[in-house]
Amino acid sequence: MIDILPTIQMVRRAGMIDLTWGHPATELLPVEEISRAAAAMLDRAGIEALTYGADQGAGPLLDWLRTRIARTEGRAPAAGEIVITAGNSDALEQICALWAHPGDVVLVESPTYHLAVRIMRDHPLELAPVVADEFGLRIDALEAAIASLRRAGRRPRMLYLVPTFHNPTGVSLSPERRAVLVELAAAEDLLIVEDDVYRELTYDGPAPPSLWSMAPPGVVARMGSFAKVLAPGLRLGWLTGGAALVGRLVSSGLRDSGGGTSHFAAMVVAELCASGRFEEHVARLRVAYRARRDALLSALAIHLPPGCRVSMPAGGYFVWVTLPAGLDAAELLPRAEATGVSFLPGARFHLEGGRGTNALRLAFSLHTPEELAEAAQKLGEVIGEN
């Protein structure tokens, strides 16, 4: 007998309102648009879509990205300051492999995206936490971390953070801290690796400016992705950064041997974007996810017992709940699951053992407003039993 192997990463649990997955809503994946774009692109580009792509990535997509970034961010990446990637996980992997050296110290805001930690540890890089609060990364903590390394005769190789619509907290770095951070990084010759995966999913007006758009050339490597705004299965993203870093990625053995990453996907997406359908799709996503966020936040406000604190994300997928002191989210989880709702305990997102035990992450992207309201009610009951 042949084993049937899985096709997709997500495992659905029957009867569970599962707020653990930071994945796009399946009914919002643009199957029709991708299908039409693929057919039109193949008609036009034919063999150019099926051979090895240029090492930097497909020209039509790079051109569209450069024009759009110039329009939306007020800064155009030069031709040598942008490269197509297979998404932000791939971009981070390539930075770790090609720009950092095993054993280098990387400063990481804490809490942080837990799977980026896994990528950086694969290399292996030494990770040093820098605490964040409700305004994002704390600059005083960053300065203290750099000073402490200096006393030990070491320098951090880079700083990894998610400054806009953070995973897991939903918080965005404040404008004041953005300005100071960029200045500090330039002065310290510290590479900022800006994970900008949620930028387009903004629900209350324009997203804050990217660190990349604010910084002198070479200070920030900003990773952007089509995973949350089109489809993660495309495995497609881009990186804007200094010409030296971009050049190192483009000239890698990987690309020399295999050409640009996800070439076929890049050609399909370039077609979709050129047709104007990208902007329409993003507008639809914003409306749908805003409704989900609002449903979850208003139900949490009604059902959570006193003493809980809830983050108010202006974009992205996540709400962060801090429980009254003494409660442990990991201990609550089995009881929550017994009622049909699941979440990720906060300790998962911290590098330092013992932090975040009284917090939890709720991902609102995958479920309908009705399901989210039901989840909030169940969570409130479970937390209130203590």
The overall longest dimension of the chain from CA atoms, in Å, is 63
* Alpha-carbon gap, residue 149 to 143, rounded angstroms: 10
CB of 164 to ligand PLP, least distance (A): 10
By beta-carbon proximity to ligand PLP, the closer residue of 105 and 363 is: 363
Residues 335-364 that bind ligand PLP (CB under 6 A): none
String marking each residue 155-184 x if it binds ligand PLP according to CB under 6 A: -------x----x-----------------
By beta-carbon proximity to ligand PLP, the closer residue of 255 and 303 is: 255
When asked if residue 88 is in the footprint of ligand PLP (CB under 6 A), the reply is: yes
Q: Classify burial at 8, counting beta carbons within 10 Å of its beta carbon; exposed 0-12, middle 13-18, buried 19 or more.
A: exposed
CB of 223 to ligand PLP, least distance (A): 7
When asked if residue 93 is in the footprint of ligand PLP (CB under 6 A), the reply is: no
Instruction: Report the sign of the C-alpha dihedral through residues 41, 44, 47, 51, in that order.
Output: negative
Contact window for ligand PLP (CB under 6 A) among 71-79, 81-89, 262-270, 336-344:
81-89
Identity of the amino acid at 36: R
Give the one residue of 30, 77, 87, 129 binding ligand PLP; rule: CB under 6 A.
87
User: Which residue number has the CB closest to ligand PLP?
Assistant: 87
Residue 63 tokens read as: 């051109």
Residue 21 tokens read as: 């997955």
Contact of 108 with 129, CB cutoff 8 Å: yes
Contact window for ligand PLP (CB under 6 A) among 67-75, 139-147, 224-232, 291-299:
224-232
When asked if residue 57 is in the footprint of ligand PLP (CB under 6 A), the reply is: no
* Alpha-carbon gap, residue 276 to 271, rounded angstroms: 9
Contact of 360 with 347, CB cutoff 8 Å: no
Give the one residue of 60, 237, 260, 346 binding ligand PLP; rule: CB under 6 A.
237
When asked if residue 108 is in the footprint of ligand PLP (CB under 6 A), the reply is: no
Give the one residue of 37, 62, 145, 197 binding ligand PLP; rule: CB under 6 A.
197
When asked if residue 22 is in the footprint of ligand PLP (CB under 6 A), the reply is: yes
Give the one residue of 57, 58, 105, 113 binding ligand PLP; rule: CB under 6 A.
113
Beta-bridge mates of residue 127: 106
Give the length of the chain: 386
When asked if residue 225 is in the footprint of ligand PLP (CB under 6 A), the reply is: yes
By beta-carbon proximity to ligand PLP, the closer residue of 20 and 88 is: 88
H helix runs in the chain, sequence order: 31-45, 47-50, 59-73, 88-98, 114-121, 139-151, 175-188, 211-214, 243-250, 253-258, 263-274, 277-303, 329-339, 369-384
Other C-beta atoms within 10 Å of 41: how many? 22
Contact window for ligand PLP (CB under 6 A) among 40-48, 86-94, 178-186, 253-261:
86-94
Residues 6+ apart with CB under 8 A from 329: 323, 343, 345, 346, 347, 357, 358, 359, 360
Beta-bridge mates of residue 344: 361
3-state secondary structure of 97: helix
CB of 222 to ligand PLP, least distance (A): 12
CB of 44 to ligand PLP, least distance (A): 27
CB of 89 to ligand PLP, least distance (A): 3
Residue 2 tokens read as: 């042949």
When asked if residue 240 is in the footprint of ligand PLP (CB under 6 A), the reply is: no
When asked if residue 136 is in the footprint of ligand PLP (CB under 6 A), the reply is: no
Report the chain's terminal Cα–Cα distance, integer Å: 49
Contact of 352 with 309, CB cutoff 8 Å: no
State the number of binding residues for ligand PLP (CB under 6 A).
13
Binding residues for ligand PLP, per CB under 6 A?
A: 22, 87-89, 113, 162, 167, 195, 197, 225, 227, 232, 237
